[in-house]
């Protein structure tokens, strides 16, 4: 396994670090010392074994250069992981796959609503709801017999963009206004049980510090926050992989399917004829279906 991973990069491509202190450029443009711990955590989160993680990190350390971007590091790690295990590489690339849905017109709130439906909730999107003082536009309303949840969905199509304290304060005040009222969802009058702020990227530390003291009035869900039950976890649990994460589907085919309103891998699995509409050969179709099955 180690030999295969090292074979992805030719010896002539390997650049030795200039010094012990190697700095990298993050997605937001800031510069910080390279920390292999973050890479290790993301690989393990994708399901990579300890030996695979160790081999990839060793390869990255041998090839990294000063002021290399975290995006380039991600691409290199993805190539190595994909050679070892395609299923894990898809999980590793899931965050970027979610971002690629933005330009297609598929609303992030619809994606969040689908996650709630997979968890047994009924949902409505783009709701106008009256609070005690003003009317609010709510991205997602989700309910079951036990809970009524209203969700503010914040979508970013660039890495490095975070939801900050101002957003957390604004959303919390909206839920405070709504908590004064009674609503009819699921055929009964009920109060709002939880208000959620969901983003596909990250929160700033001050937003997290504020939100951690708000209880059910502000449940904050980011890509990797909280440690357990974050958006990444919820997507994997619901098995709602977007088709943009498929390695065996060309960029053209992805755009064509997205234009048809096809977004989820499971939609393709349930209607395999969709692959005929984008001109795939039988061999190409089989590879795509096998990749979806592996997920």
For residue 120, the domain's CATH number is 3.40.1350.10
- pLDDT (mean) for 145-170: 92
Q: Are 31 and 24 in contact (CB under 8 A)?
A: yes
- Residue closest to 230 by CA, chosen among 201, 193, 192, 265: 201
Is residue 173 in a domain?
yes
Same domain flag for 86 and 106 = no
| Cross-strand partners of 150 | 141, 195
Same domain assignment for residues 227 and 280: no
Query: What are the tens digits of pLDDT across the range 172-230?
Result: 999 999 999 999 999 999 999 999 999 999 999 999 999 999 999 999 999 989 999 99
Q: CB–CB of 182/189 below 8 Å? A: yes
User: Do 251 and 202 belong to one domain?
Assistant: no
Q: Are residues 208 and 145 in the same domain?
A: yes
Whether residue 272 is predicted with pLDDT greater than 90 in this model: the reply is yes
The residue out of 238, 263, 284 marking a domain boundary is 238
CA atoms of 139 and 124, how far apart (whole Å): 8
Question: Does the pLDDT value for residue 255 go beyond 70?
Answer: yes
Within this chain, do residues 85 and 131 fall inside the same structural domain, yes or no?
no
Q: At 282, list the tokens.
A: 């039988």
Regarding whether 80 and 37 lie in a shared domain, the answer is: yes
Q: Is residue 97 part of a domain?
A: no
Please give the full DSSP string across 226-237, using - where no structure is assigned. SSSS-HHHHHHH
Residue 205 sits in the same domain as residue 284: no
pLDDT tens digits, residue range 45-95? 777 888 888 999 999 998 899 999 887 887 888 788 878 776 677 667 788
Instruction: For residue 178, tell me if it sits in a domain.
Output: yes
In this prediction, residue 103 carries a pLDDT of 56
In a shared domain, residues 148 and 225: yes
pLDDT reported for residue 20? 58
Q: pLDDT digits over 23-43, tens only?
A: 999 877 889 999 888 888 878
Q: How many CA atoms lie within 13 A of 239 on its CB side?
A: 9
- The CATH number for 272's domain is 1.10.150
| Number of C-beta neighbours around residue 97 at 10 A | 19
- Domain carrying residue 88: 2-92
Q: Is residue 5 within 8 Å of 89, Cβ to Cβ?
A: no
Domain endpoint, select from 92, 120, 151: 92
Q: How much of the chain is in helix, strand and coil states, percent to nearest 5?
A: 50, 20, 35
Give the other-Cβ count within 10 Å of 271's Cβ: 10
Q: Are residues 226 and 259 in the same domain?
A: no
Three-state DSSP class for 209? helix
Do residues 81 and 89 lie in contact, with contact meaning Cβ atoms separated by under 8 Å?
yes
Q: Residues 84, 11: one domain?
A: yes
Residues 164 and 191 in one domain: yes
What is the per-residue pLDDT for 7? 46
* Residue 14 reports pLDDT greater than 70: no
Query: Over the stretch 93-151, which tens digit does the pLDDT of each residue have?
Result: 788 888 887 654 456 888 899 899 999 999 999 999 999 999 999 999 999 999 999 99
| 221 and 114 together in one domain | yes
Residue after which a domain boundary falls, among 66, 92, 118: 92
Place of tokens 């700095």: 23
Closest among 250, 249, 161 to 207, alpha carbons compared = 161
- Specify the higher pLDDT residue, 100 or 19: 100
Rg (CA), the chain: 21
Burial of residue 179 (CB within 10 Å: 0-12, 13-18, 19+) is middle
User: How many domains does the chain divide into?
Assistant: 3
Taking the whole predicted model, whether its pTM rises above 0.85 is answered as no
- Per the domain annotation, does 218 fall within a domain? yes
């Amino acid at each position: 396994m180690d030999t295969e991973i090292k074979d992805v990069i030719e010896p002539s491509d390997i650049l030795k670090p200039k010094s012990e202190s190697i700095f990298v450029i993050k997605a937001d443009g800031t510069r910080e010392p390279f920390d292999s711990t973050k890479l290790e955590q993301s690989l393990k989160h994708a399901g990579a074994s300890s030996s695979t993680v160790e081999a990839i990190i060793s390869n990255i350390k041998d090839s990294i250069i000063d002021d290399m971007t975290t995006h380039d590091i991600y691409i290199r790690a993805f190539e190595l992981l994909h050679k070892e295990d395609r299923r894990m590489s898809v999980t590793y690339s899931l965050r970027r796959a979610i971002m690629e849905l933005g330009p297609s017109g598929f609303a992030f709130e619809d994606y969040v609503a689908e996650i709630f439906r997979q968890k047994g909730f009924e949902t409505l999107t783009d709701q106008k709801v009256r609070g005690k003082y003003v009317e609010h536009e709510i991205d997602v309303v989700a309910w079951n017999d036990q809970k009524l949840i209203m969700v503010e969905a914040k979508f970013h199509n660039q890495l490095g963009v975070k939801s900050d304290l101002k957003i957390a304060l604004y959303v919390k005040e909206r839920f405070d206004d709504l908590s004064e009222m009674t609503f009819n969802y699921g055929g009964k009058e009920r109060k709002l049980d939880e208000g959620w702020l969901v983003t596909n990227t990250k929160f700033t530390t001050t937003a997290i510090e504020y939100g951690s003291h708000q209880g059910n009035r502000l449940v904050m869900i980011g890509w990797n926050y909280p440690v357990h039950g974050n958006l990444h976890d919820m997507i994997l649990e619901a098995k709602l992989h977007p088709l943009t994460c498929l390695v065996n589907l060309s960029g053209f085919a992805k755009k064509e399917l997205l234009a048809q309103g096809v977004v989820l891998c499971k939609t393709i699995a349930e209607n395999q004829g969709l692959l005929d509409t984008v001109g795939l050969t039988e061999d190409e179709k089989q590879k795509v279906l096998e990749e979806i099955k592996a997920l």
